Amino acid sequence: DIQMSQSPSSLSASVGDRVTITCRASLSITTYLNWYQQKPGQVPKVLIYGASNLQSGVPSRFSGSGSGTDFTLTISSLQPEDFATYYCQQSYSSPHTFGQGTKLQIK
């Protein structure tokens, strides 16, 4: 199975900050990379698919980039509702494995 690693594992930031989370795959997954947000007690929600495509209904402050093995999720201006855990997922090779998650906390 393809291994996914995220950094950092946790991050403290303030409302209005620009935040970047990185994800690395153990081999090239072209652009089959997705990002999810999970708030406590809630189910995961897809934000970005295909590395850079914004899922319908997701605010434009979220963006994704990258290809091959290295990817980033950027939140341009943090809002209070963005404090959550973020997961990357490769969907290049089944089963579609996840990174370990990045917990975004309020500073």
Q: Which residues bind another protein (CB under 8 A)?
A: 1, 32, 34, 36, 38, 43-46, 49-50, 53, 55, 85, 87, 89, 91-101
Distinct helix (H) and strand (E) counts, the chain: 0, 10
Between residues 28 and 77, which has the closer beta carbon with respect to another protein? Answer: 28
Between residues 20 and 30, which has the closer beta carbon with respect to another protein? Answer: 30
Query: 50: phi > 0 → left, psi -120 to 50 → alpha, else beta; which?
Result: left
CB of 75 to another protein, least distance (A): 18
Give the closest residue to 31 by CA, choosing from 65, 67, 64.
67
Between residues 31 and 78, which has the closer beta carbon with respect to another protein? Answer: 31
